Amino acid sequence: MIAPARAVGNSRGVALAAVVAWAVLSCAKPPARPAPEYLFASHFRDAEIRSDGFDLAFLVESGAFRWPSWQDPSQEQGVLTVWSLAEEAALRLPLATPAPKLLSLRARCHASLGPRLPLTVLLGDVVLAEVELTPREAEFQFTLEAAVQARNGATLRLRVPRRFSPAPGERDLRPAAVGLSDLRVSRVGRTAARALPSREGDALLLPPASSLGFYVRLGGAARAALRATAQARGRLEASVQTGSAPSELAAHDLRPGEPAVLEWPLPSPAGSYARFEVRNAGDSALRLDAAGLFGLDNPGSPPLAAAPLPERPSIVVFLTDTLRADRLSTYGFAKPTAPNLDAFARESVVFEDAWAQSSWTRPTVASLFTGTNPATHGAVGFERPLADRFTTLAEALKQAGYRTGAIVSNHVVHHRFGFAQGFDEWNDGVQKLYGLKASEIVERGLKFVDRTSAPFLLYLHTMEPHATYEPSDAAYRLFAPPGEPRRDSRPILMKPQIGARAGAYLDALYQGEIWDNDRAFGALIEGLRQRGRLDSTLLLFTADHGEEFLDHGGKGHGQSLYRELTRVPLIVRLPAGRRGGSRETTPVAQVDVMPTLQGLLGIASPRSEGRDLSALWQRGARPAGVPVLVSETRFGKAEKQALRVGDLKLVLNQDPRRYGEGGGPLELYDVARDPGERDNLADKEWIAAAWMQRRLRSLLEAWRKSGGRVAPGTVEITEEDREALRALGYVN
């Protein structure tokens, strides 16, 4: 039997009601159908659950209690407790319907606030009750009428007459106000919600008055399908919402014991983000079998075929520490900070959009040389090494017959922390080379070339322009602000906050160090040319990360994941200058470097999370699909992750010491329209933000599981290490 569609809801937005077609097949044994590409049961943990019946534990698990309104949930004498931190603490109740409900609270006030504390309980702006709390726990009950819910949504507010507000961006350390040890919502009437949705294998169990929401990215011909069964007469509703458009609903009545196979299209442009919801609007529990979606857009780049070079060249990786791309005229900067690099770029392929895997040195260099993300390799702290279970670029090339050498100035990638793996020579065996100037790094690198006849890999890591900024006098004269006397950068860098003038002064010193570093890079190019080795060498110029100069209020690096830190230069001169002067706009990442170099050399690559882009580098063959780029930092008090899909970039502010375990605000930017990342779209484009948050979480969990098969261990931080970190400005 084919039943006509029944649609309910607003006629604006995606106008699903006009196009939905439900095919209801009431046969006991429906024909075999292909499994959905996106099986709801497999993504159950990412689902957004709404119900007319839940408790405090569910609210805690779903992340309802967030800074700055609430402390992190804790166990107090075996009882789950959440304390408010503001004069008005709010949380969103995940209600499925506006049906009448009973709200129960078990609460007390903090003993430091006296024997009694007035509490106002509101739903939206409507006062539900005014009660009095004491340090002894008491239970209170309030009725949520349907009309009140319909007008005021589901934001519960607890208001106390305290006279404080936390400073912007800071956690309040004064005594908490209201402690909740229970919060329950139950539906009143003939259909009381007593359970939450659950998973049973590939099936979903949907109690009355509950719903499941899934965030997806739609393809050009997306559709949903499921097989629904009701215990008694039931009613299933489905909705889809894209952007800020209202949801459009379609509904179907189910008869007991008669399974119905339901299908409907989801009309929306390919690549748009959507929230799809299934809701039990009847009095009977529903079972949804093989429920899911077809025709989704799954961002990612299908692999390109490897494009080996005709002959295996030598490889030079010249890594300039702390160099943001937009301080180079090759990338549009107005001042000539790097004239030798500009000339080099005219013989090279310039990658306009290169992405760093972190915003400080150790995790980015580990990603560059292993093709894995920080969540996998785990070299994310001062005491965390690069474990020897990872195959490095040096190890892979050494096995292929290359001579490998490194001259490295940054102590953060000290050989004791696992970064010398695979190198025949590391800093000429002299530990005190850490901190060497760029000119000396190049001089020693050319000596390695002179004593190496076989194809070689040479890794040169210079420290200019890393803080502290100490440009030569000639460089300072070129970039100093007019009338600004020269002074030491260290005292300015050590200040918690600085003004615009001090920030501009630091930036000028930084530009001078770029110029000094560029002179050394020019000496390397000329040295290779004079030796007749330049055209038989692939020379790669890049950076580990960028630097902040009050772009978003901060300075230095490691503390955030904005563009000034994650956009780095990547300029590659292929042997004989092939494709010289080419510019590529395809987004690339540091994890792509190792598999791409191995693809160019025709060397088998170990497991990598990057892409082999040798065809892009060699002949401009662009990968299909939408690249997915991830960056993360754990540095000092900062713990942040970022995901970029196409033009959208999401930043998660975890920072537990600042925001608590629940995390801080979401940030979402359109980097094509807003390259400075100023206009936070997280509220406006909340569906896209929710999808990206879930995608980022699943990627990080998979990588951490992959990298965690062997404990990474730690390396003892010596006094020499601490002194080096102080010299780099990382610690006082």
pLDDT tens for each residue of 465-489 = 999 999 999 999 999 998 888 999 9
Q: Are 701 and 693 in contact (CB under 8 A)?
A: no
Per-residue pLDDT for 27 more than 90? Answer: no
Q: How far, in Å, CA of 288 to CA of 286, rounded? A: 6
- What's the pLDDT at 514? 98
CATH superfamily membership of 314-450+461-727: Alkaline Phosphatase, subunit A (3.40.720.10)
Domain with CATH 2.60.120.260 in the chain: 55-187
Give per-residue pLDDT as tens, 99-148.
Answer: 899 999 999 998 888 899 999 999 998 999 999 999 999 999 999 999 88
- What's the pLDDT at 569? 98
The DSSP 8-state label assigned to residue 520 in this structure reads: H
The DSSP 8-state label assigned to residue 557 in this structure reads: S
Q: From the CB of residue 4, how many other CB atoms can be counted at a distance below 10 Å?
A: 7
Q: Confidence band (pLDDT; 50, 70, 90) for 2?
A: very low
3-state secondary structure of 666: strand
Q: How far, in Å, CA of 280 to CA of 278, rounded? A: 7
Beta strand 425-426 with 403-408 is parallel
Per-residue pLDDT for 26 more than 70? Answer: no
**Cα–Cα distances in angstroms (integers) from residue 355 to residues 2, 200, 305, 333, in the given order:** 52, 41, 22, 18
Lowest mean pLDDT among 274-288, 420-434, 673-687: 420-434
- So what CATH class is 7-47+198-296? mainly beta
Domain with CATH 3.40.720.10 in the chain: 314-450+461-727
Element (H, E) at 146: helix 146-152
Q: Are 545 and 563 in contact (CB under 8 A)?
A: no
With a pLDDT cut of 70, the percent of the chain lying above it is: 88
3-state secondary structure of 352: strand
pTM above 0.85, yes or no: yes
Give the mean pLDDT of 80-92. Answer: 91
Mean pLDDT of the chain: 88
- What's the pLDDT at 168? 56
b vs e for 485-501, b when ≥16 Cβ sit within 10 Å of the residue's Cβ?
eeeebeebbeeeebeee
Q: What is the largest CA-CA distance in the chain?
A: 90
Give per-residue pLDDT as tens, 301-339.
Answer: 888 999 999 999 999 999 999 999 999 999 999 999 999
Cα–Cα nearest to 264, from 32, 618, 7: 7
CA angle 134, 139, 141 (to 5 degrees): 125
State how far Cα 687 lies from the chain centre.
16
- What's the pLDDT at 483? 84
CATH architecture of the domain with residue range 55-187: Sandwich (2.60)
- What's the pLDDT at 661? 64
Lowest mean pLDDT among 45-49, 121-125, 182-186, 659-663: 659-663
Give per-residue pLDDT as tens, 146-188.
Answer: 988 887 778 999 999 865 555 555 555 556 889 999 999 998 8
Q: What are phi and psi of 423, to 5 degrees?
A: -90, 125
Beta strand 314-320 with 456-462 is parallel
Lowest mean pLDDT among 94-98, 169-173, 184-188, 712-716: 169-173
- What's the pLDDT at 16? 35
- What's the pLDDT at 69? 85
Q: Are 621 and 307 in contact (CB under 8 A)?
A: yes
- What's the pLDDT at 249? 72
Q: Which residue has the higher pLDDT, 383 or 240?
A: 240
- E-state strands within 464-599: 537-543, 548-549, 555-556, 567-573, 582-584, 588-589
- What's the pLDDT at 163? 55
Q: Are 563 and 671 in contact (CB under 8 A)?
A: yes
3-state secondary structure of 19: coil
Give per-residue pLDDT as tens, 229-244.
Answer: 998 899 999 999 987 6
State how far Cα 180 lies from the chain centre.
32
